[in-house]
């Protein structure tokens, strides 16, 4: 049972917009930055979004993040086949004094 809750799966067709939600509490998302990671099969995770809505250089602007209260979401516009991957949200948890991940969302491009 992950501290942050994500849907286990999501899907979309090429060109579509897909959103992935991440639900937490006041001790994590509600009071700290949310970061999103993309993990392709067999690869290390890659930072996709930091500080809830900032993109590292090199990440396409098709990816965006937002946060409201104790929830966050990742949006992917113009879905492409190479976006097929696992996506994880992460945040610091003040009560646990450690970082926590969501359970991950497996994105399928149909």
Partner 1 sequence: QVHLVQSGGGVVQPGRSLRLSCAVSGFTFSSYGIHWVRQAPGKGLEWVAGISYDGSSEYYVDIVRGRFTISRDTSKNTLYLQMNSLRAEDTAVYYCARDAVPLRFYGVLTDLNADYWGQGTLVTVSS
Which residues make up the interface to partner 1 (CB under 8 A)?
A: 2, 32-33, 35, 37, 39, 44-47, 50-51, 56, 86, 88, 90-92, 94, 96-104
Shortest Å, Cβ 74 to partner 1: 15
The distance from CA 19 to its chain's CA centroid, rounded to whole angstroms, is 9
Shortest Å, Cβ 35 to partner 1: 5
3-state class of 81 per DSSP? helix
**Nearer Cβ to partner 1, position 19 or 50?**
50
Which tokens belong to 92?
Answer: 């610091």
Shortest Å, Cβ 71 to partner 1: 17
**Nearer Cβ to partner 1, position 13 or 57?**
57
**Nearer Cβ to partner 1, position 32 or 73?**
32
CA angle 14, 41, 66 (to 5 degrees): 60
44 to each of 8, 32, 83, 94, how far by Cα in Å?
19, 24, 15, 26
């Amino acid at each position: 049972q992950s501290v942050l809750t994500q849907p286990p799966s999501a899907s979309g067709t090429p060109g579509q917009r897909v959103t992935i939600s991440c639900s937490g509490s006041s001790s994590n998302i509600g009071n700290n930055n949310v970061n999103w990671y993309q993990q392709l099969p067999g690869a290390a995770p890659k930072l996709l979004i930091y500080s809830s809505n900032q993109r590292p250089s090199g990440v396409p602007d098709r990816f965006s993040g937002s946060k409201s209260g104790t929830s966050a979401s990742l949006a992917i516009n113009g879905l492409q086949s190479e976006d097929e991957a696992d996506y994880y949200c992460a945040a610091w948890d003040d009560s646990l004094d450690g970082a926590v991940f969501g359970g991950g969302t497996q994105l399928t491009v149909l």
